[in-house]
Structure 1
C-alpha cells in the first residue's frame, strides 16, 4: 500500500465516521486496502490525525482482539491497538445516571466489558509483568463501545486501519492494583438487565497485565498518565437505541452506558 492509497482509505474511513455510513471494502480500488499489519497502522495514523479535530487528542490506547473467542468470531489472528481520543472517553462517576451516548453516532455499535489501566509511571518496552503492575496507578472497570466503519467485514489489517474499531469508552470508579487478582476477575455483561455473556481477566491474553506489556512492546514504551484498555473479556454484545448495557465485575464494581 503506497502513501496515496493510505491517505485515500483514511479519508474514506473519516468520512464514514462523519456520515455514519459504512465503507464497502469490496468497493475500494485494488491497492486501496492494507495487506499487512504495518500498512494498517499507517492508515490508522492518518485516520486519527483526521479525527482529532472532533474527538480530541489521543490520551491512551485501546487493545483489541486479546480474547480468543473474539479473534475466532471476527476472523483476526492477533491482537492490535488503536488510539483513545479525549472526547470519546466518558467518566461514569460524574453522575447518578448511566452515561448516555447518541445512537446516531454509530453504524452498528457493540459493547465489550474490559479492564482498564491508568499508568502512574513510565512503562518501557520489554518490561516484566511485575514491572507493569508497579507502573499501574489505577485499575478501572470499563465498557467499550466498538463499531466497524466497514460493516463488520474486515481482516486484521483493515480492523487496525479502522482504529481497531474504536467508538468510545465508559470508565467506572478506579482502585489500586495491589489487592486484585486480575487474572481471576470475573465479569458479567448485561443488556437491559438480561445476561449477554461472561468472562474473566484471563480472557485478555491470559492476564490483563500481559496485554499491557504486549502493548508497551508494540509501541516502544508507554508514558506516565497513559490510559489503556486491555481487550474484551466477553464476546461483543449488540446494543440498540433505548437499551442500557452494564458490566458487573467481581471486585472492580460495575459500569453502565445507555444508547439514546
Structure 2
C-alpha cells in the first residue's frame, strides 16, 4: 500500500467527520512521524471540543501482547477521552453511533494529582485516588481495524466509549487481578491485570512521559484507562456486556439500537 504525507488539518477533519458519521474509511497509510500523528489527533480532538465536548482523561493502547498481535503494531500509544464517550455503568450503548464497535476489559484509575514527564512508579501510585473495573469501547474509523502506527495515533487510538464501575481506594493490590469479560453470560475474555505491561502502574508511568512528549496532559480529576490484557471483542445490538475484576467488582452495559433504547 502506498503511504501518503499528511495535510494535518485536512486529515484531522477527515477522521473527525468519519467518527461523527460512524462511517468507515480505507486505511490512510500515513507517512507521518509519531509527533505529526499526535498533532493530527490533537487537531481532531480540538474539533470535538469546539462542538462542546469536554476532555476527561487518557486511554492507553496496545499494552499487551494480545492487543499488539491483533492489530500488528508493537508500540504503546495513547488517546484522549471526552465526556461524550461515557456510557453509564448498567446503561445502554446506542449501536447506531458506532461503525464497528469492540469492547475490551480494563483497569481504570482516577487521578488525584497531575502527572507529567519522567516519573517513578511510586510517584504514579501517589497520584491515584481511585481504581475501578472498566470496559473500553473501541471503534476504528478504518475498515476492519486495519491501520499503521501513524493512522492509529491520528485516529485517537480508536477511542470511542468507556464504562466505569465503582471506585475503590487505591490501597488494593491490582498487580495481578483476574479479569473476566462476558457477553450474554458467556466468558469471551479472560486474563490478568499482570498482562498490562506486566503491571498496570507501568502504563501510567509511560503515559506521563508520552503525553508530556507529544502534547497531552494527565490532570488531577482525569480518568485513566490503563489498557487491556486481552483482545477486543466485536459488539452487536442485543448483547449484554459485563466485566468482573477480582477485588474491584463489576461493571457492564447493554448494546441497543435507537428503537430499543427509546
User: Which TM-score applies when normalising by structure 2?
Assistant: 0.90
Counterpart of 1:9 in structure 2 is 11
Q: Is the 8 A contact 2:211 2:218 kept in 1?
A: yes
Counterpart of 1:95 in structure 2 is none
Counterpart of 2:188 in structure 1 is 196
Counterpart of 1:82 in structure 2 is 79
Aligned pair 1:182/2:179, yes or no? no
Counterpart of 2:49 in structure 1 is 52
Aligned pair 1:160/2:160, yes or no? no
Residue among 200, 218, 222 paired with 2:218: 222
Aligned length: 248
Moved beyond 3 Å, runs of 4+: none
Structure 1 portions without partners, runs of 5+: 93-97
User: Which TM-score applies when normalising by structure 1?
Assistant: 0.90
Counterpart of 1:205 in structure 2 is 197
Counterpart of 1:131 in structure 2 is 123
Alpha carbons of structure 1 residues 231 and 55: separation in structure 2 relative to 1, 3 Å: farther
Q: Is the 8 A contact 1:55 1:88 kept in 2?
A: no
> Alpha-carbon deviation of 1:171?
0.6
Counterpart of 1:252 in structure 2 is 248
> Per-residue CA shift, 1:100-147, capped at 9, x if unaligned?
011111111000110011111222422111111111000011001001
> Alpha-carbon deviation of 1:158?
0.6
**Residues in 2 aligned to 1:49 and 1:245: alpha-carbon distance in whole angstroms:** 31
Aligned pair 1:108/2:105, yes or no? no
SS of 1:83's equivalent in the other structure is: strand
Structure 2 portions without partners, runs of 5+: 257-262
